[in-house]
Amino acid sequence: MKKRLIRKAALPLLLAGAWALAVLVVGAQSQPLEGREVDLVWSTSDGQRMEIYYAHRLNGVWAEPVRITDDYYDNMYPVIDRDSTGTRWLFWTAYSNGRMELRYTSGRDGTWRESTTLADRMKTNISPSVVIDKEDTVWVAWSANDGGVDDIYVAFKDKNSWSEPAMPHAPNDVPDILPEVGLEDSGNPEVTWQSLQNGALLTLTSRFSGEQWSEPEVSENSEPVESHSETLELPAFVNNTSMVFVRVY
Amino acid sequence: MKRQILIAGISLLLVASYCQAAELPAEKIRIVAFGDSITAGYRSTPYSYYLQQLLDANNCNSTVINEGNPGELTAQGVSRIDDVIAEHRPHYILIMEGANDARSGVSGDVIVSDLARMMDKAIAAGAIPKVSAITPNTESGSEYLPIPEVINPQIQQQAAARSVAYVDNYSALAGPNWASYNIDGLHLSPAGQKVVAQQFFNFIPCGSASGDSGGGGGGCFIATAAYGSILEPQVALLREFRDTYLLTNAAGRKFVELYYAYSPPAADFIRAHQSVKAAARIFLLPLVGLAYLMVKGYGYVLMIGLIIPVLFLVSKKKHKHLSSV
């Protein structure tokens, strides 16, 4: 639940980034934000293209930012989470020549692996979301299409390999966008997204039962009721606040 | 003889009402600026203000209504546009949306699909949509390339497929002057808003003679072609009749749907032939008269106009029957 609340707090920043110099963090923890570990990823220009950068905050001190990508793509919409070993898993969309691929990398103790393409079979793979469960399985959801409108896809990586992407909803002709994958109280993954149906934008949720994704249910757009909320000031080296993702542990 | 009296009575009635309709003052053109924070005018005067100035300076009888909703995604716009059209009943709706989607991780295909839905809704409601390209985004320091490379060309295609005007605000803003046209890489400065206003102004006919008979024509395709402009009072009257008496019931809606499906080719023919235009106007005369009586609350006059000749005929028939007995 804690992870999910923090993730939800990060979304408004993505939507209203241009106006935000700080991010509101809502969570159940009573521990002050000041002492909590924070991962920050963002997309900004290197003067030619959009690249992904990472910064880590420990004990209230930000480390020097690290450049993650350096290629001929525009790299956008980054998200991050960590597993129990402290390994960070970072996903983003790489754009070039009208196509958008889903890419990722992982890193630990300042060393990052070379980026890998997770999904490029379809024309557009966009808006990734990631969460890692207590078994250290990495769950990533994104929206993709191959010429129609977007559907939601989810893939997971256990110790060995990546699963085939699965859709948590039946095939349809309506836009399914902006997925957020999180963990239920039971620890099982769930994915929530927006779907335009009969002219109304609905929030749908599907839960993973261990074998398959449940039939999507319409969710209430309710705010978390927990009382703890704080504002995290973004460091000055973040010069583009339109594509920022913050993970507070 | 009886038939001649009946026809003469109805014709006189309709011609009289047509004469009244023809004397109607030109309707004020309602233009809705529909979009997100760029339309709303985030930290800047919105383009709707400058557009109003341009229209006023050119003596256009128009009013511009700002319906910019900051932070809105196109999917939310699809949900909102029906209410906006119902509230303002615009002649024109200027749709400029998609900037938030692009920066939030919504694909170009979805943006274009949503904008297409908005255009369809506007056309179905009898408004004329003008759809804008998404304006440049340089928030990151680099340009967000999917906008010019993928999204805008698709918006243009969807607009063309519907004969909707595509207003290329991207090209008008991008380039060496972009720095002076934006305030934060996304939102427009007053100078940028003025550019957008001028762009939209170029696509709005000012005055009834200039005509905007192509495309949706406000839904009244044949009347618009016959009278030369959607702004003509007769066209406005027919549109009001449609909104009041046809779109409010299932049978009327079905009729309108069929009319929209089959009338555009006829409208194209009328538009292309000057002599046919005059004939079409004569053909529409009774309809305009009927619309006038109904819309202006003179339905009872129509009833009297119909009942008197019928009573006259019935009485004559009865008299003839009695005489023969």
Where do the domains of chain A lie? 13-248
pLDDT of residue A28: 46
Q: Kindly state whether residues B35 and B104 are assigned to the same domain.
A: yes
Give the span between the Cα atoms of A219 and A206, in whole angstroms.
Answer: 10
B43, B79, B117, B139: best to mutate for the A interface, most A CBs within 10 A: B139
The torsion angles phi and psi of B263, rounded to 5 degrees, stand at -80, -25
Q: Which residues of chain B have pLDDT under 70?
A: 1-26, 207-219, 229-231, 247, 253, 257, 260-261, 264, 321-325
| Largest pairwise CA distance in chain B | 99
Per DSSP (E only), the strands in B153-237 are: 165-167
Please give the full DSSP string across B222-263, using - where no structure is assigned: HHHHHHS-TTSHHHHHHHHHIIIIITTSHHHHHHHHHHHHHH
Of B201, B222, B257, the last residue of a domain is B201
What is the Rg, in whole angstroms, of the alpha carbon atoms belonging to chain B? 24
Give the span between the Cα atoms of B267 and B270, in whole angstroms.
Answer: 5
- HSE-up of B123 (CA within 13 Å, CB side)? 24
Buried b (16+ CB within 10 A) or exposed e, A35-66: ebebbbbbbbbeeebbbbbbbbbeeeebeebe
* B250: CB partners within 8 A, 6+ apart: none
Please give the full DSSP string across A107-163, using - where no structure is assigned: EETTEEPPPEEEE-SSSEEEEEEEEE-TT--EEEEEEEESSS--EEEEEEE-SS-BP
pLDDT of residue B244: 76
pLDDT of residue A7: 44
pLDDT of residue B146: 95
Per-residue pLDDT of chain A (249 residues; tens, 9 = 90+): 444 434 434 443 443 333 334 565 554 455 677 778 999 999 999 988 999 999 999 988 999 999 999 999 999 999 999 999 999 999 999 999 999 999 999 999 889 999 999 988 888 999 999 999 999 999 999 999 988 899 999 999 988 899 999 999 999 999 999 999 999 999 999 999 999 998 889 999 999 988 899 999 998 765 544 556 678 888 999 988 889 999 999
- HSE-up of A90 (CA within 13 Å, CB side)? 35
- Pull the structure tokens for residue B42: 């985030």
Q: How many residues does the structure list for chain B? A: 325
Q: Kindly state whether residues B61 and B132 are assigned to the same domain.
A: yes
**Does residue B321 fall inside a structural domain?**
no
pLDDT digits (tens, 9 = 90+) for B96-120: 999 999 999 999 999 999 999 999 9
pLDDT of residue B276: 84
Of B146, B179, B201, the last residue of a domain is B201
- Pull the structure tokens for residue B196: 């957008």
Give the minimum alpha-carbon distance from B55 to chain A in angstroms, rounded to a whole number. 32
Q: Kindly state whether residues B48 and B172 are assigned to the same domain.
A: yes
Q: Residue A74 in 3-state DSSP?
A: strand
pTM (whole model) above 0.80:
no
pLDDT of residue A9: 40
Out of B110, B141, B150, the one facing A177 most closely (by C-beta) is B110
Are A19 and B184 in contact by the 8 Å Cβ rule? The answer is: no
Residues spanned by the domain of B9: 2-24+232-300
Domain A13-248, what fold?
Neuraminidase (2.120.10)
For residue B113, the domain's CATH number is 3.40.50.1110
Are A178 and B113 a contacting pair at CB < 8 A? Answer: no
* B68: CB partners within 8 A, 6+ apart: B33, B34, B35, B36, B37, B38, B39, B40, B41, B46, B48
Residues 90-119 of B with CB under 8 A from A: 100, 103-110, 113-114, 117
- Pull the structure tokens for residue A32: 């002050």
**Does residue B49 fall inside a structural domain?**
yes
Q: In total, how many domains does chain B have?
A: 2
Q: Kindly state whether residues B38 and B145 are assigned to the same domain.
A: yes
Give the span between the Cα atoms of A43 and A122, in whole angstroms.
Answer: 23
Give the span between the Cα atoms of B194 and B191, in whole angstroms.
Answer: 5
CB of B73 within 8 Å of any CB in chain A?
A: yes
pLDDT digits (tens, 9 = 90+) for B14-66: 555 554 555 556 678 999 999 999 999 999 999 999 999 999 999 999 999 99
Q: Residue A51 in 3-state DSSP?
A: strand
Alpha carbon B317 to its chain's center: 49
Give the minimum alpha-carbon distance from A239 to chain B in angstroms, rounded to a whole number. 8
Give the span between the Cα atoms of B69 and B72, in whole angstroms.
Answer: 6
The torsion angles phi and psi of A91, rounded to 5 degrees, stand at -120, 150
**Does residue B212 fall inside a structural domain?**
no
Q: Kindly state whether residues B50 and B169 are assigned to the same domain.
A: yes
Q: Kindly state whether residues B158 and B284 are assigned to the same domain.
A: no
Q: Kindly state whether residues B13 and B102 are assigned to the same domain.
A: no
Give the span between the Cα atoms of A165 and A154, in whole angstroms.
Answer: 5
Are A199 and B142 a contacting pair at CB < 8 A? Answer: no
ipTM, two decimals, is: 0.84
**Does residue B187 fall inside a structural domain?**
yes
Give the span between the Cα atoms of A215 and A127, in whole angstroms.
Answer: 22
Give the span between the Cα atoms of B73 and B98, in whole angstroms.
Answer: 6
Q: Kindly state whether residues B173 and B293 are assigned to the same domain.
A: no
Are A18 and B114 a contacting pair at CB < 8 A? Answer: no
CB of B72 within 8 Å of any CB in chain A?
A: no
- Please give the angle made by the CA atoms of B122, B249 and B266, to the nearest 5 degrees: 55
Chain A with chain B: Cβ pairs closer than 8 A: 111
Give the span between the Cα atoms of A232 and A228, in whole angstroms.
Answer: 13
Of B178, B201, B224, the last residue of a domain is B201
* B163: CB partners within 8 A, 6+ apart: B214, B215, B216
Q: Residue B324 burial by CB count (10 A; 0-12/13-18/19+): exposed, middle or buried?
A: exposed
Are B174 and B148 in contact by the 8 Å Cβ rule? The answer is: yes
Out of A145, A147, A178, the one facing B105 most closely (by C-beta) is A178
Q: Kindly state whether residues B58 and B197 are assigned to the same domain.
A: yes
- Please give the angle made by the CA atoms of B161, A202 and A80, to the nearest 5 degrees: 100
CB of B256 within 8 Å of any CB in chain A?
A: no
